[in-house]
Amino acid sequence: MSQTNGIEILLVEDNPKDVELTLRAFGRANLTNRIHVARDGAEALEFLFCEGPHAARRIEDGPKVILLDLKLPKVDGLEVLQRIKGDPRTRAMPVVVLTSSREQSDVVESYDLGVNSYIVKPVNFEQFLSAVQQLGLYWLLINQPPKVEG
């Protein structure tokens, strides 16, 4: 079993400060050891589709939830979302957009592409903490994903 097998959360976020704050928030919820961070869209796709450094991984051993920022270098969040939902191997993976954008166009387009949830990151840290803890608990503990074959 490779190390990636235990990954339960894929966090796609380019802002290191946001990464740190998000990780802290997850830390409070004791979820730190199950998180992989991708710093741009391309890296996220490599991880998900087991390419490059992640070639040893099996696609079927995907994370329980993907937290996706929209504004990303190289490949932006909406394109990543499109790739995930457009591929039968990854379509079932829950994707939560976690972004600063409250633009209606972003919200509408995300849902059109099949996003499972859309969360606007609050500026207030307490609210942010609360949001992260709730979504972690929900997607990791409450939500029941389909059994993956193979």
Binding site for other proteins (CB under 8 A): 15, 17-18, 21, 24, 70-71, 99-104, 106, 121-126, 128
Instruction: Rank residues 35 and 129 by Cβ distance to other proteins and give the closer one.
Output: 129
* 35/70 with CB nearer other proteins: 70
The Cβ of residue 56 has, within 10 Å, a number of other Cβ atoms equal to 9
- Which lies closer to other proteins via its Cβ, residue 26 or residue 49? 26
Edge to edge, the sheet with strand 35-38 lists 35-38, 9-12, 65-68, 95-99, 117-120
* CA–CA separation, 17 and 4 (whole Å): 24
Confirm if 132 and 9 have CB atoms less than 8 A apart.
no
Nearer to other proteins, 43 or 69 (CB): 69
CA of 128: how far to CAs of 7, 115, 131, in Å?
22, 20, 5
What does the alpha-carbon distance between residue 83 and residue 122 come to, in Å, rounded to a whole number? 27
- Of 90 and 99, which CB lies nearer to other proteins in the complex structure? 99
